[in-house]
Structure 1
Amino acid sequence: MNNSYVEFKKRKQERIDNFDMIFAFDNKQLDEGLKKLGVNLDEVVSIGMNGFIRKSDIEAFNEMVDSFKGEYIKNMKDDDFVYEMFKYEMGNHEYIITFDDEEILNACEIDEHLFIADERLKEIYLKAKNHYLNEVDQ
């Protein structure tokens, strides 16, 4: 059975992996990364978390990130996607040990206030939680 959430994550990761960017945690890594990108320090911009892209790639990077957001918003209308997302992240974050609902919502990029107000999301979450716990318990 295909998991649409896992497929979404894979597509997203492949696009990120194929985008020209570097991560540098010291000057040596930064120098090596600048050489890889074929630029000097004045020609890169930080994307956070010690990541850098060429200034000339800002628009393409932003378009990529926006496309992820758009696809995520579209997918959130699909109950199966939401169910698969919750259940996958419960397994990924060892929910059977932590029972930390907030951690799962954060992993799914769902604001806790939105979640509380959204009966559909709560219903799907409870279904995924029950299925996950029953499967792990066996």
Structure 2
Amino acid sequence: MNQYQEMRDRQQQEFNALPLGFAFGQKQFNEMMRGWGLHPERDVKKICAIGAGGYIQKKDVELLRQTSARHKEELAAAIEADTTGDGFIFQMFYRELKNHEYGYTGDADDTLDTLNCTMEQVQSDQRLYRGFQQACKKIMEEES
């Protein structure tokens, strides 16, 4: 398994362990609140929405922020450590391009969005550009 995939899997496990709740209707919302020991109507001010049907108790918001910041820092450090673009950076682009069906679409926009970067950023960093180009080439070779 590649370093990028290992990092993402570990980070996903850490994120999944966060005290988050998800509700897509009133019944699920009530169950989520009761699961936290909160009253679905009286204690609404003790929680906040995080988007996509997700909620977290306000007392745990800092934990979510810290975890997200640490994950972002880990990714940045791993990218920075790849001095050529042939290692972690290539693995990162390859995995995300494959995941977003670049071989079928030839479109890298979703990949770049997922990685929170722009094509201009990729093109302005030799290492990123090299890893991106190598990943694109490999995927296209696999598809032909």
Q: TM-score, normalised by structure 2?
A: 0.86
In structure 1, how many angstroms separate the alpha carbons of the residues matched to 2:113 and 2:63? Answer: 26
Gaps of 5+ in 2: none
Which residue, out of 69, 74, 77, partners 1:66? Answer: 69
Deviations 1:80-136 (A, max 9, x none): 111001111121111111000222212222223312322321121111111222233
Give 1:115's aligned residue.
122
In structure 1, how many angstroms separate the alpha carbons of the residues matched to 2:78 and 2:36? Answer: 34
In structure 1, how many angstroms separate the alpha carbons of the residues matched to 2:21 and 2:89? Answer: 32
What is the number of equivalent residue pairs in this alignment? 136
1:45-64 matched pairs, under 5 angstroms: 45-64=48-67
CA contact (8 A) 1:21 1:37 kept: no
In structure 1, how many angstroms separate the alpha carbons of the residues matched to 2:37 and 2:88? Answer: 40
CA contact (8 A) 2:79 2:89 kept: yes
The answer as to 2:44 corresponding to 1:37 is no
What one-letter code is carried by the residue in structure 2 that aligns with 1:99? G
Deviations 1:37-96 (A, max 9, x none): 222322111112221111111111111111111101111122311100111112111111
The answer as to 2:120 corresponding to 1:92 is no
What one-letter code is carried by the residue in structure 1 that aligns with 2:78? N
In structure 2, how many angstroms separate the alpha carbons of the residues matched to 1:84 and 1:127? Answer: 10
SS at match of 1:76: helix
CA contact (8 A) 2:89 2:127 kept: no
In structure 1, how many angstroms separate the alpha carbons of the residues matched to 2:125 and 2:117? Answer: 11
More helix by share: 1
What one-letter code is carried by the residue in structure 1 that aligns with 2:113? N
CA contact (8 A) 2:47 2:55 kept: yes
Which residue, out of 126, 134, 137, partners 1:130? Answer: 137
CA contact (8 A) 1:96 1:133 kept: yes
User: Does 107-116 or 3-12 show the bigger shift?
Assistant: 107-116
Q: Percent identity?
A: 28
Give 2:112's aligned residue.
105
Query: What is the RMSD of the two structures over their aligned residues, measured on CA atoms?
Result: 1.4
Q: Report the CA distance between 1:21 and its aligned residue.
A: 0.7
